Amino acid sequence: MYEPIINLELTPDLIKNMFPKVETMVKNVFRKEYKNGDVDFGKNLLIVRVANSFIKNFLNREIKFIKELQKNEDKIFIKLLEKDLDSNISLNEIPDIKLIGKIDRIDRVGDTLRIIDYKTGRTEQKELTIKEWENLIYDTKHDKAFQLLTYAYIFQNSKLKTSDAVESGIISFRNLSSGFLKVKTPDSESITTKELDEFEIILKNLIEEILDKEIPFTQTDEVDNCEYCAFKSICYR
């Protein structure tokens, strides 16, 4: 629904025009992805209705946000959607390691570029607030912050890099009232060159540890991390 209005100023009317398309579009996507499943009754129908509700709630929140911007004479533009980006990072022994990410949305609000990841699950600001850089490695609750900083790092090391202020954050469909939840580092609420330099140190240390043949892969001591792991049947967790 947003693709036809990339680079146009978002207005409440443009968003309102999306509402009549929601249910048909959602049903078409479900039928395409679940070719052997009927989405007109039972559990599948309930899932479709939940998706419709999520999207309509999001669009209502978007209208409210745009109106708030207009009061301050600010504007918002969608720049990119579901964009595949990549960049390289170099270690001493390995000159080029490719980092790849698909960014759900990049928009511009005033003079700030926002790198946005949508989450269907609930996200809280405390998960994205980093008090110490080392916490990115040792505290699993910051996994979303790590993802967002990686996206910002890839973006700013790609051909699309910008000198404008950059924020990286999440819009949670289960926590829409909180709006855009952005990464906050120990020193800043935006992603500056200084923040990316700090993150690069963390990232390089992590990659070096992963590639170190003297450090074996072992089961995590945090059993809760295994709940949704695709490989838990192999290690019998």
Three-class SS string for the chain? Answer: CCHHHCCCECCHHHHHCCHHHHHHHHHHHHHHHCCCCCCCCHHHHHHHHHHHHHHHHHHHHHHHHHHHHHHCCCCEEEEEEEEEEEEEECCCCCCCEEEEEEEEEEEEECCEEEEEEEECCCCCHHHHECCCCCHHHHCHHHHHHHHHHHHHHHHHCCCCCCCCEEEEEEEECCCHHHCEEECECCCCCCCCHHHHHHHHHHHHHHHHHHHCCCCCCCCCCCHHHHCCCCCHHHHCC
**pLDDT at residue 109, as a whole number:** 96
Q: What is the pLDDT of residues 9-36, one digit of tens each?
A: 999 999 999 999 999 999 989 888 887 7
The per-residue pLDDT for 66 is 97
Sheet holding 76-89, edge to edge: 76-89, 97-109, 112-119, 165-172, 180-182
**How do beta strands 165-172 and 112-119 pair?**
parallel
- 34-44, pLDDT tens digit by residue? 877 788 888 88
Q: What is the pLDDT of residues 92-150, one digit of tens each?
A: 878 789 999 999 999 999 999 999 999 998 999 999 999 999 888 888 789 999 999 99
* Sequence ranges of the domains in the chain: 1-74, 75-237
Work out the average pLDDT over 164-175.
94
The residues that bridge with 109 in the sheet, in sequence order, are 76, 112
What pLDDT, on the 0 to 100 scale, is given for residue 219?
A: 81
